[in-house]
Amino acid sequence: METHNIETIPASLDDIPGILEVQRVNLISLEQNRAEELERLGKRGFLIHALGEGELAGMVNDKNDNIIFVARDNADVCGYALAYNLEKWKKLNPEWRNTIEIFKNVVCEFNKNRILYLRHIARKPGFDRCGSKLMKVLASAAREKAYEAIVAEILQKPVANKASTEFHEYHGFSVIGSEKEGENMVWGLFLKKI
């Protein structure tokens, strides 16, 4: 049983080294891991795409389009959640709209709502509960900024990120479609109304 005293607070520039460390311990390479290792990683959760220090600094400084929280155990960053306006994501990745497939029953809702794009939610091993705390404060901050929903992409192929899928479903996310990245990667699109 965890006995950590976790606090969740908005991220500052001073938190970037801690965020980068949490990212580092969760980042995997699909090319460098064997199938058995990927299956094991899928059961604990992982990240695929890294964020650089400069990108993180820009996100921390832009409070209008971004929401970033860290979880701390005393002074140490043990987890983080970062998200931004979906419209910003579409501008940064214009090809993204052409690679996604949204279920017909949610296309209209997906296109009309003000949506927050959840880029990462990650924690250090041994800090299981901080993910739920981060999700709660992220959803609360999103509501305060008049977002109507949060969307997340979770890798399904070549390996399913089962831990992330279960975590998001536990927090009220439902699959609404998929995205294909390159030849071999398929992401599930998950949405939570807030």
**Residue 1: predicted pLDDT:** 43
Q: Rounded to whole angstroms, what are the CA distances from 42 to 14, 38, 129, 154, 176? A: 31, 6, 18, 11, 21
Q: Is the pLDDT of residue 69 over 90?
A: yes
Cα 16 to its chain centre, rounded Å, is 16
Of 61, 80, 89, the C-alpha closest to 21 is: 80
Can you tell me which residue has the tokens 């017909």? Answer: 104
Of 193, 184, 188, the C-alpha closest to 175 is: 188
> How far is residue 108's CA from residue 17's CA, in Å, rounded to a whole number?
40
Residue 184's identity, in one-letter code, is N
Asked if residue 79 lies in contact with residue 122, where contact means CB atoms within 8 angstroms, the answer is: yes
**Residue 45: predicted pLDDT:** 84
Asked if residue 81 lies in contact with residue 135, where contact means CB atoms within 8 angstroms, the answer is: yes
**Residue 183: predicted pLDDT:** 84
Q: Give residue 48's pLDDT band: very low, low, confident or very high (50, 70, 90).
A: confident
Can you tell me which residue has the tokens 């005293």? Answer: 5
Q: pLDDT digit string (tens) for 126-140?
A: 898 899 999 999 999
Q: What's the whole-number mean pLDDT along residues 77-96?
A: 90
> How far is residue 136's CA from residue 130's CA, in Å, rounded to a whole number?
10
Nearby residues of 62 by Cβ (< 8 Å), 6 or more positions away: none
Reply yes or no: is the peptide bond before residue 158 cis, omega within 30 of 0: yes
Q: Give residue 107's pLDDT band: very low, low, confident or very high (50, 70, 90).
A: confident
Q: pLDDT digit string (tens) for 144-191?
A: 999 999 999 999 998 899 999 999 999 999 999 999 988 888 999 999
Q: What's the whole-number mean pLDDT along residues 61-72?
A: 94
Output 111 or 183, whichever has higher pLDDT.
183
Q: Is the pLDDT of residue 4 over 90?
A: no
Asked if residue 164 lies in contact with residue 28, where contact means CB atoms within 8 angstroms, the answer is: no
SS3 84: strand
Q: Which domains does the chain have, with CATH numbers?
A: 6-193 (3.40.630.30)
pTM here is 0.91
* Minimum mean pLDDT range among 30-34, 49-53, 75-79: 30-34
Q: Is the pLDDT of residue 96 over 50?
A: yes
Can you tell me which residue has the tokens 């701390």? Answer: 72
Q: What's the whole-number mean pLDDT along residues 64-93?
A: 92
Asked if residue 90 lies in contact with residue 96, where contact means CB atoms within 8 angstroms, the answer is: yes
Asked if residue 135 lies in contact with residue 67, where contact means CB atoms within 8 angstroms, the answer is: no
